[in-house]
Amino acid sequence: MTELVEHGHLFIGGEWTEPLGTDTIRVVSPHTEQVIGSVPHASRADVDRAVSVARKAFDEGPWPRLSLDERIAVVTRIKDAIAVRHEELARSISSQNGSPYSWSVLAQALGAMMVYDSAIKVAAGYPYEERRQGALGPILVRREPVGVVAAVIPWNVPQFVAAAKLAPALLTGCSVVLKPSPEAPLDSYILADIAREAGLPEGVLSVLPADREVSEYLVGHPGVDKVSFTGSVAAGRRVMEVAARNLTRVTLELGGKSAAVILPDADPAATVAGIVPAAWMNNGQACVAQTRILAPRSRYEEYADAFAAAAGALVVGDPLDPATQLGPLVAQRQQQRSLDYIRIGQEEGAKILTGGGGRPAGLERGWYVEPTLFGDVDNAMRIAREEIFGPVVCLIPYGDEEEALRVANDSEFGLSGSVWTADVEHGVDFARRVRTGTFNVNTFSLDMLGPFGGYKNSGLGREFGPEGLSEYLEHKMIHLPAGA
C-alpha cells in the first residue's frame, strides 16, 4: 500500500508558502486507481506572486551577479542531492505515472542527475564573452541571462525534463517558475526541498502545480522573459500563441512518431534487442519512442515473428515491482486513447501481431494496455501518422532503401529515429538524409552533451549541450573604438 502523501503549501521563491487559492490536486495511482496524494492547486494570484519574486531576484538579487563558479557550486549540490535521493524520486514518479521502477531509477532520477552534470560541464566551458574583429572595428560579443523563465514540464518524465530546463536556466543566472503537471506533482516537492537545501537565493525558484488554465496564465504573464515547454503539439501551438502576445521567446519540445529503419544487412537478434526497449520505453509514453519500425519486405516475416515474440514477453504489472518492464498508463484517458487507436488500426486493415486485447490478464485494476504490435501497416494509416503515446507500435514493410527513407521522412514529426545495419558508415550516410533532430546508428540513446530537439512539428529550439545553454542567453554586441 502506497503511503498517502499530502502537501499543504506551495514553494514560492524558496519558501514554503500558504496558497492563495483553495483548490486541490488529487493524485491518483494508475496501478490501484486510488488517491495517493494531494497538493495545492496554484492560482493566478500564486503565479503573480511567484513571477514577482522571480522578477525581483533577477533584476535586483545576487543570483545573476554571482560568479559562474558560485552558481555551479549550488547546482552541483542539487545534482549531488538527487543522486542521494534517487530511489525516493523514482518511487514517487512511478507511483504517479506508472513508469516501471527500474526505468524510473535509470532514466527519471539518475537521468536527471546526468542532465545537471552535463550542463555543469557545458557551462564551465561556454564562451560568455568574446572579442571579434568586426567589419568596422573591434567588437565584444556577450551572452547574458535571458531573465525570468517559465518552465512547463509534462508528467511522463518530470524530473528529467525539469533538469533539462532548470540546469541551463540556473547556471546562466536566470530565475525560474517551474510548473509541474497535475498528474505528477509529488516529486516536484522533493526537488523543491533539494533546491532549498542547496542554497538557492530568495526568489530564484518557485514550484507551482496547476492545470492548463493556470499554465496558460503563466505562459502569457508579462513578467516572464522566456517559456520552455515540453508537451503535445496542440499544447505547444497554444503556448506559442499566448507567448507571442508579449513577444516572449519560447523553446518547444513536442511530439514524435520516430522511425526505426532496419536495413537488409542488419543482425536480426541485435536489432530486435535494441529496438524493443526503444519502442515500448516508459510504457510507450515517450516522445522519442521508436513507434514506427520499418522492415525490409525480403525479411518481413522474420522480423514480424521476432518482434511479436519479444513484445509479448514483456513483463506487465505493478510499476513499483523491480521486475516490471511495462506499467500502466498515467490516466484512464490515456488508456482509452490507446484502446481507441487499437480499434482504429484494425478498422484500417492493419494486422495485430501481438497484444490488442486491452487489459492484460491478471490485472483487474489499473489503466493497463497490453503491449501491442501492428503488422502490415501502411504509413498513410492513422496509427502510423499520429502520436499514440501508449504501448502501440507499427511494423511497416518497405521495398528498397529509397522507399525506407521516404517513409521515415513522411511524417509531420521529426524528433528521433534510428537505423540498423552491418555497415556503420552507410548508416551514418542514411542518418544524414533523415529529417529529425536526433538520430541513432545501431543504438538508442540520448547524449546530454549534444543538442536535443525536433524538426517540423516536433518543436522549436534545442535542449542540452551548448546549443541548449544558449537558449537561456541573450546575445549582446558592444562596439569598441579602433585600436581597443
Q: Please give the positions annotated as active site.
A: 253, 287
Neighbour count for residue 340 (Cβ, 10 Å): 12
Q: Which of 64, 72, 2 lies closest to 32, judged by CA?
A: 2
Exposed, middle or buried, 188 (CB in 10 Å: 0-12/13-18/19+)? buried
- The whole-angstrom separation of Cα 175 and Cα 59 is 10
SS3 call for 11: strand
The pairing of strands 455-456 and 440-441 is: unpaired
C-alpha cell at 265: 544487412
Through-space distance between the first and last CA atoms of the chain, rounded to whole angstroms: 70
Q: Could you give phi then psi for residue 152, rounded to 5 degrees?
A: -110, 120
Residue 253 near residue 463 (C-beta atoms within 8 A): yes
Specify the residue for cell string 494531494: 38
Helices (H) and strands (E) in the chain, counts: 16, 23
Backbone angles phi, psi at 143, to 5 degrees: -115, 120
- Return d(Cα 81, Cα 107) in angstroms, integer: 16
* Residue linked to cell 536566470: 174
Residue 98 corresponds to which amino acid? G
Compute the C-alpha angle 226/116/443, nearest 5°.
Answer: 105
Copy the grid coordinates of residue 234: 496542440
Q: What's the rounded Cα separation, in Å, for the pair 282 and 389?
A: 10
Spatial CA neighbour of 160 closest among 113, 118, 123: 113
Give residue for cell 515473428: 305
CA-based nearest residue to 370, from 378, 361, 381, 382: 361
440 membership: H or E segment, kind and range = strand 440-441
Between the CA of residue 5 and those of 35, 203, 405, 419, 449, what are the distances in Å?
9, 26, 49, 44, 35
Q: Give me the sheet containing 138-145, strands edge to edge.
A: 129-133, 138-145, 473-479
38 residue type, one letter: S
